[in-house]
Every structure is written in C-alpha cells, then in structure tokens.
C-alpha cells in the first residue's frame, strides 16, 4: 500500500488530503480486493497507515506494570514470615529428598492468620499459598519413615 498527496481536487466537498494505491504482486488493485484478499477490515488498513505515517510503530504491549501485581516488598514480607517458622529435616529420608518439614500441628491457614495479625495490609490467602508452594520446599505432615508404632513422635 502506498500513500501520496492527492493528484486533483474534486470540488469543495472533497476533504481528502492524500490518495492511496493498493498493490499486490506488483499490480494495482482496488481497495475491496486488497481487503478481501488479506481478510482484514478497512479500519485495520487505516490504522496501519496512520501508524506508519506518524512513526509510532513500536509495540506498546506489556510496558506498563499491571495494577494487580504484587510489589516485591510485600512478597519479601511474606517470605520473611514463612522463614521464621522452625523446620526440620527428615532423618531417614535425607538421601531421597531435600524437603524440609514444619510442625504437624501447624497449617497454612494458621500461618496465614498469624501473618494477617502482624501485617497492616496483608496479601490474599491465595497469594500467600502461591508464594509458599513456589518458593519453599516445605510440608506439614510428619514423615512415616521417621516414626514407629512404639515411639510417640
């Protein structure tokens, strides 16, 4: 598609400033054939031409920070809160995994309630869970290999 200054004026009602020439395979075609062949609307052609002439072809998508994105400070507060809980490594499964364990009496809901009571503007429970499961390799259940029927814990 080429755009150039109009060649002639067709009366006072003609407000056009530019003329267009649609070319496909080195042959001039009408606008309807150009649009229908490419399966696009005339609005898309107009927008593309406007962007080309204004010089703003850069893609602006993804440049702004989303309004619902969690700030790094809030995320770090959650991480520090989770790190405060004591954890232990399984005695018998050390060779099998690097997973650490929290107290069996503790739950994620209890941890979140403690976090909410300490923080003025807390993150949501789902965000807390997401950080817990993605950043930490922790579980709550006691390992069955570490216990036997005669020992209490």
Domain boundaries, the chain: 2-54, 72-145
- Counting Cα atoms < 13 Å in the Cβ hemisphere of 137 gives 6
Q: For residue range 90-104, what is the model confidence (pLDDT) as tens digits?
A: 666 555 667 777 887
The answer to whether 89 and 101 have CB atoms below 8 angstroms apart is yes
Q: For residue range 101-123, what is the model confidence (pLDDT) as tens digits?
A: 788 788 889 999 999 999 888 88
Residue environment code for 104-140, b if the CB has 16+ CB neighbours within 10 A, otherwise e: eeeebeebbeebeeeeeebbeeeebeebbeeebebee
pTM, 2 dp? 0.52
């Amino acid at each position: 598609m080429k755009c150039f200054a109009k060649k002639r004026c067709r009366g006072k009602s003609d407000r056009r400033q530019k003329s267009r020439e649609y070319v496909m395979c080195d042959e001039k075609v009408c606008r309807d054939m150009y649009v229908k062949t490419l399966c696009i609307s005339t609005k898309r052609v107009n927008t593309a031409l406007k962007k080309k002439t204004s010089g703003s072809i850069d893609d602006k998508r993804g440049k702004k920070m989303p309004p619902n994105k969690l700030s790094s400070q809030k995320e770090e507060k959650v991480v520090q809160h989770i790190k405060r809980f004591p954890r232990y490594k399984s005695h018998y499964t050390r060779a099998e995994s690097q997973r650490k364990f929290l107290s069996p009496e503790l739950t994620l809901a209890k941890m979140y309630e403690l976090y909410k009571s300490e923080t003025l503007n807390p993150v949501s429970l789902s965000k807390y869970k997401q950080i817990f499961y993605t950043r930490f390799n922790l579980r709550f259940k006691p390992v069955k290999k570490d216990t036997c029927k005669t020992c209490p814990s």
